[in-house]
Amino acid sequence: MSKQTHDRARTTEETLLSVRNLSTHYREGEDDVPVRAVDGVDLEIARGETYGLVGESGCGKSTLGLSLIRALPPQGEIIDGEIHLDGREIGQPARSAVKDVQWADISMIYQGAQNAFNPVKTVGEQIREPLRIHDVVPEGERAGHVEELLDKVNLQPDITDQYPHELSGGMKQRAAIAMAIACEPELLIADEPTTALDVIVQAEVLNMLQRLQEELNFGMLVISHNLAAIMKLSDRVGVMYGGELVETAPSEVLYDSPRHPYTARLLRSLIDPRRPPEQVETIEGTPPDLRDPPTGCRFADRCDLATEQCTAEAPSLEAMSERHEAACFHHDEVSEL
Ligand SMILES: Nc1ncnc2c1ncn2[C@@H]1O[C@H](COP(=O)(O)OP(=O)(O)OP(=O)(O)O)[C@@H](O)[C@H]1O
Ligand SMILES: [Mg+2]
């Protein structure tokens, strides 16, 4: 089935993850001005769908992922919004419930996962951990199950007794994937799964995620700077800017007809074989300070289309066409940029 047919088939499928008006702030001390890392985000992911999240560094992508799996650092707090997985509210459970959500319902390949392994425990011990927490396989069968998981990610069974430092970056990333799928989660979040890997290993990891997703039918949220990889892998893509979701559309639609100037700029900053090299541009300026974001459109000071209205008023996401939304007063002019 082609990706597009596949995608259309999914539109009738049930919603797996539903996020409404999610806001997550970081605050060092009581009197500190909070960093509004995620500010009023709505998001839906269907079962079996791959949703890609892109945007410049610091725009809140990881914070969104960490909020979903309830693994924010102590300074971070979900201050508003609702998160439903499979119809169940998982937004604000008591702290004791955090462990229930992780691994079994939602699991995450954390940004820099290659470096997140405990150096003094073997890889096998670490992959067994989520199986133990959720008691998904009886103790006597866990070692065999770990071997099956390693096989799924093309790692040899003898890896189990090795320590993380004995593995290459690509092998560690595959071990992190094995751990993330150990309890067959409904939603897998992969945060920058290919960063710090060489190009060939990057392609292997992306293909592996796609294969596992087809096999296990989890919903997947892939976060990356690498817009080209994201568009290849994802059914739909969301673009974040300054803590907000500014555009979302099926990948092909986003690529062919972006309706937010920031997306258009991001696309032009891509090194893409489909585009001549002279069309590659960088985006001038920097994203807003999330301690004190502008009142109007957060992209206005970097935008060629900005008018007075843009600095005075914040645009909200509006439907452009089926499954395509953008938050820009000048969405009709983006194609002329
Ligand atoms: N522990 C923290 N304490 C305070 N502020 C934080 C913390 N973690 C992140 N932030 C701030 O929250 C905002 C969003 O950060 P986040 O890591 O979610 O962005 P990102 O889009 O994942 O960036 P990158 O692409 O670099 O991974 C940034 O302004 C960042 O400085
Ligand atoms: Mg990040």
Which ligand 1 atom is nearest residue 72's CA?
1
> Rounded to the nearest whole angstrom, what is the distance from the C-alpha of residue 277 to the centroid of ligand 2?
28
What is the structure's pLDDT at 289? 95
> Rounded to the nearest whole angstrom, what is the distance from the C-alpha of residue 299 to the centroid of ligand 1?
18
Alpha-carbon distance of 315 to 327, in angstroms, equals 5
286 ligand 1 Cβ < 6 A? no
What contacts 226, CB < 8 A, 6 or more positions away? 194, 202
- Proximal ligand: closest to the CA of 55: 1
Alpha-carbon distance of 83 to 187, in angstroms, equals 13
290 ligand 1 Cβ < 6 A? yes
The model's confidence at residue 7, banded by pLDDT at 50, 70 and 90, is very low
Which ligand 1 atom is nearest residue 223's CA?
22
Neighbours of 71 (CB within 10 A): 16
Query: Which whole number is the average pLDDT over 18-25?
Result: 95
What are 169-182's pLDDT values in tens digits? 999 999 999 999 99
61 ligand 1 Cβ < 6 A? yes
pLDDT at 3 over 90: no
Pair type for strands 88-89 and 76-85: antiparallel
Asked if 288 and 298 count as a contact pair (C-beta separation under 8 A), the reply is: yes
The model's confidence at residue 32, banded by pLDDT at 50, 70 and 90, is confident
36 ligand 1 Cβ < 6 A? no
What are 77-136's pLDDT values in tens digits? 999 999 999 888 886 654 445 556 777 789 999 998 888 899 999 999 999 988 888 777
What contacts 155, CB < 8 A, 6 or more positions away? 171, 174, 175, 178
Alpha-carbon distance of 142 to 164, in angstroms, equals 20
What are 246-289's pLDDT values in tens digits? 999 999 999 999 999 999 999 888 756 566 656 666 788 899 99
Reading the block at residue 146, the tokens are 């770990």
Asked if 318 and 330 count as a contact pair (C-beta separation under 8 A), the reply is: no
pLDDT at 236 over 50: yes
Q: What domains are defined for the chain?
A: 3-105+185-260 (3.40.50.300)
- Which is more confidently placed, 136 or 204? 204
